[in-house]
Structure 1
Amino acid sequence: MRYVGDHRRQTHSRIVESASYGLRQNGAEGLSVVELMKLAGLTHGGFYNHFESRAALVGEAIAFAMDQTAERWKKLANRKANEDRFGTLIADYLSSRHRDNPRQGCALPALAADVARSSPREQRALASKLEKMIDILVELLPAEGPQQARQIATSTIATMVGSIVLSRAVGAGKLSDDILDAGRMTVCGRTHKRQRRTAKAMSCDKP
């Protein structure tokens, strides 16, 4: 019956979305199957009707979280003039809002270290979505050749993720804010130098 199929898909999606928020808040190793199902308001008895393993759910939850970030980037970029898009994304990512809200933030600072010690399936899920995030930044660097743009985009994400990880690790305060500021200055300064744009065009002011 169609209702049964639709209900199953909706339940599956709800489990993935709830797990995604929970994993970003607690880490990839911080929640058991029982706890992950409880986040969706379900018992663990039906888990294997939807997923073949915990790794399968974690992989889907990571993909969901990274898709959320990619969609946010696209929406932010579409609201700005071409020359302001790159800086806008950097400022939004390296913000106190993002630092203080891991549950709905990017999966990379919250989960990358855990995934590095997890199954190949989870690692492939993260790598696939990371490639797409890199592609989004590449599109914002039209003045660069493809290879150079990809290098800039990859190093930008690496710098931003590291900055968020450290800013969270030291707790909210001056040092945490200084880390975010340094991340913005590093990324935007590097990109400005390479692209030879005006400081205003490549500004990464706090949002």
Structure 2
Amino acid sequence: MSREHWEPVTVFTGGLKPLPPEGQMTGMYKVRRDTPVFCDIEGLRGDAQGDRRVHGGPDKAVHLYPADHYTRLAELMPMASNLLLPGVLGENLSVSGLVESDVCIGDVFALGDARLQVSQPRRPCWKISHRLGVDAASRLVADNGLTGWYFRVLHPGDIPPDGALELVERPSPGMTLARLWALEQSHRPSVEEVNTLAEAIGLATQWAQRLKNRADWLARNV
């Protein structure tokens, strides 16, 4: 396959801080890194997640959010436009020119010494609304498919600041994250489509099982 590059990649990490207005601890407040950061199967060294039940872990080790989405988010939420800059949604990686319709489940990327595999979309949660101070923010992100995605780490290594993200393997061509999210948002997708995406190589086990359960329900309730 052809090898594609996107650069530069901006790298962010952050510790835990209270999230207004109620003070829940969150790892959404990130700082841009200007030196190499080591990445292992749990994510970037020096990074933290506030609720490990829904963020972090091997299938959600590194979060990428497309930089190009911020223009659209500012159109949808002009009242928060001053905040809508890369890093504000808690992403670890930011890159231009790469969005969900370009990326397939299971894609493997090289970034510095690390090898990262696309595992699942990010489900927008209520913390996005609190972070931006816009009640509808999480829903707008979900409804417009501006989700970003998570990587698992296949090979640990140093990730440089402003490095090149390189696509090196695509085991599930055609099974884009945009296609998966459209299915997720669909009221009644076809059983065939659900089963097809459930079998995508590299899809997080939790997502695959939920899709299989949904396909079974749809088949029983024609």
Q: TM-score, normalised on structure 2?
A: 0.25
Q: TM-score, normalised on structure 1?
A: 0.26
More strand by share: 2
More helix by share: 1
Q: Which has the larger radius of gyration?
A: 1
